[in-house]
Amino acid sequence: MKECVKLRILLSIGLIMLFSQSYAASQKFTVLVCAKTLASSFWLTVRAGAYAAGKEYGAEIIWKGPAVETDIAGQIS
């Protein structure tokens, strides 16, 4: 009885994973990254990683942020 329940659970999980992957593969995702500044080496590294991941997974990356860290209005908009 317990083996039957385990088998049903594993089969259900497998089917869910199968259908969710095919649905996700058919969609194109857009990811908006709002950086604190565009001039920091840290945020430039984050930007490179975001674009690399976007290329790998087929997502469009939109990169926004102010030119300098002290531009508070630019961070908000």
Tens-digit pLDDT string for the chain (77 aa): 666 777 777 777 776 776 666 555 567 888 888 888 888 888 899 999 999 998 988 889 998 888 877 777 776 76
The secondary structure of the chain in percent helix, strand, coil, rounded to multiples of 5, reads: 60, 15, 25
pLDDT for 71: 76
**Domain residue limits at 34:** 2-76
34: left (phi over 0), alpha (psi -120 to 50) or beta: beta
Looking at the structure of the chain, the number of domains it has is 1
